[in-house]
Amino acid sequence: MQRRYVPAVLATALMALVMVSCGDDTVDEGSSPTETLPTPTDGSGGGQDDDVPEYTHPSGADDVVFEYSEVGGFVPRSVAFQSPPVILISGDGRVFTPGAQIAIYPGPLLPAIQVQTISELGIQRLLAAADEAGLYADIDYSADLNVADASTAMVTINVDGETWVHEAYALGIGAVPGQDDEADVAAERAALNDFLAQVGDLATLVGPDELGPTEIYEPDEYLIEALVVEDPLAYANDGIEPTIVAWPAGATVPLADAASCTVVPAREIGGLLESANQLTLFSDAGIIYQVLAKQKLPGPTC
């Protein structure tokens, strides 16, 4: 296959839209967030070929080899902060995806994240599929779209010493998965859409034997943002009032210092966050806060 290399576009892969906001009980939290992925159009598993090129990629536990997120769109701050990637593959061979959300209100404070292993052969097959899709190039996905408040598909690939970032606004909206519509008229947009359809069924793309069982991800660190609450009752919804709990006195990060994204060790607050829900508020030094929280995944901290 033809390998193409041009200077990389530098960007930060952000979080995908899979969570519901605090106080919004109109969204079905029982649906699987992985349904945001397109449906595969080719079940033949074309990537399952042992004769694939050798690609180099970062191999550290905190390195990102591949990440696909849906970012932006008309969403509250809490959703934008807490939404995890649709899929992230780390250098040490782990696959992170959103887990199923339980259909209760208020739901858990933390997003559900699951993790499984992927073999080196599986990573090579995915990188080969990206190469076949022409993604190792600097591509302009802009199109004249009459679509408002849609998200942007963001794909980041670190391979052979290059970082390739692809951003396509409103990718696939109104299209049959894997096919063009009036919005997706460019061949490049269609190729990206088709590739993400393959990624949507990762076991078919890389081979089921290359993936381990899924488990709940237990992080070493959390990322938080703390927002001062003037009126706790303003957070009440459906007749349910918020619960106020104390922030740990021994935490290395007081909430007054977490106005922007901040790293906190899981050993200090993990149990507290895991037991909290969307209507849990936190008091610290006499001030009440809403805390946005998520698990720290490989890659950039904030």
Return averaged pLDDT per consecutive 10 residues of the chain, 302 residues in all. Answer: 36 35 39 40 47 88 97 85 95 96 89 97 98 96 83 97 96 58 67 96 98 97 97 92 95 96 96 96 97 96 81
HSE-up of 271 (CA within 13 Å, CB side)?
5
**274: containing domain:** 219-295
Backbone angles phi, psi at 216, to 5 degrees: -70, 130
In the listed set 215, 231, 263, which residue is the last one of a domain according to the structure? 215
Per-residue exposure over 52-88, b if at least 16 CB sit within 10 Å of its own CB, e if not: beebebbeeeeebbbbbbbbbbebeebbbbbbbbbbb
46 and 88 together in one domain: yes
Per-residue pLDDT at 2: 36
61 and 187 together in one domain: yes
H helix and E strand count, the chain: 5, 12
> Which neighbouring-strand residues pair with 282?
245, 289
The answer to whether position 302 is within a domain reads: no
What does the block give as tokens for 243?
């619960």
176 and 246 together in one domain: no
What does the block give as tokens for 204?
């078919």
Read off the pTM: 0.79
Angle between helices 120-132 and 187-199 (to 10 degrees): 160
**Per-residue three-class SS string for 27-74:** CCCCCCHHHHCCCCCCCCCCCCCCCCCCCCCCCCCCCEEEEEEEECCC
- Using CA atoms, how far residue 264 sits from 30, 194, 261, in Å, is 29, 38, 10
The answer to whether position 246 is within a domain reads: yes
Per-residue pLDDT at 104: 87
Per-residue pLDDT at 300: 87
Per-residue pLDDT at 211: 98
Per-residue pLDDT at 222: 97
Per-residue pLDDT at 163: 98
154 and 289 together in one domain: no
> Which neighbouring-strand residues pair with 228?
289
45 and 115 together in one domain: yes
115 and 226 together in one domain: no
The answer to whether position 173 is within a domain reads: yes
Per-residue pLDDT at 174: 52
57 and 202 together in one domain: yes
**Is the bond leading into 106 cis (omega within 30 degrees of zero)?**
yes
